[in-house]
Amino acid sequence: SSDLKPKGVGARHRDVVALAFERAFLSDAHDVVLLHSPQAFDASTYELWVPLLSGGRVVIAPAGDVDPDVLRRMITEYAVTGVFLTSGLFRMVAAESPACLSGAREVWTGGEIVPAAAIRAVLSACPGLTVVDVYGPTETTTYATHHPMTDAAAVPDVVPIGGPLDNMRTYVLDGALAPNPPGVPGDLYIGGAGLARGYLRRPGLTAERFVADPYGPPGERMYATGDVVRWTDDGELEFIGRRDEQV
């Protein structure tokens, strides 16, 4: 199917700026950020522009794969405070050497489900660290929701993807686009700041996935993520699974 071909997402400069001035990044935890993602991967938007647009510093990782030794060296030698790790890399670090993140202030991780045991291991080994479970498709400019954790003992068995970032709207809707109450799984739609213009030269697919937002300002659109989530009673989102196998 055409959906199995990787596609270009048309994020605008204003979408990157909206991400960079998210309040969660205004703490000094993101003053010195490690750049290790390829430029074509949306995490590089965080790694480059969050520190640089706030007068911070980017530390470029050495060539090759990032492993616990590289992380330990970057954090201790270059005073890196903020790091993003894919959930796969985070799991590996948690299993092999969770203390390699000691000295960092915040580690954001996401992309797939992040196991509670991995987060507990890292928090236990790194006093003063905040681990943030983050969720966001490229179509909403890198990150859309986040859930910070500081206490290993308080990490729930099912780690939520949290609540929306500044000026973003997250909806859990049924097949008729009506909102689902807490506890009832539904499709996740995202609107607001950071919503991309669509897929490059793919107008049909853009129209299918970027649809009119019945709950936002007139003319606004929302992105159909294809992800199934549910609200918890305290207003956090829990990830359940995917509707499709998009690339």
pLDDT tens for the chain, 247 residues long, are 455 677 899 999 999 999 999 999 999 999 999 999 998 899 999 999 999 999 999 999 999 999 999 999 999 999 999 999 999 999 999 999 999 999 999 999 999 999 999 999 999 999 999 999 999 999 999 999 999 999 999 999 999 999 999 999 999 999 999 999 999 999 999 999 999 999 999 999 999 999 999 999 999 999 999 999 999 999 999 999 988 665 4
How far is the first Cα of the chain from the last one, in angstroms, to the nearest whole number?
11
Give CA–CA dist 112/76, Å, rounded: 28
Give CA–CA dist 140/41, Å, rounded: 13
At which residue do the structure tokens 């500081």 appear? 150
The answer to whether the CB of 30 falls within 8 A of the CB of 82 is: yes
At which residue do the structure tokens 């606004």 appear? 220
Give CA–CA dist 192/44, Å, rounded: 21
Give CA–CA dist 207/223, Å, rounded: 10
- Whole-model pTM? 0.94
Give CA–CA dist 64/47, Å, rounded: 17
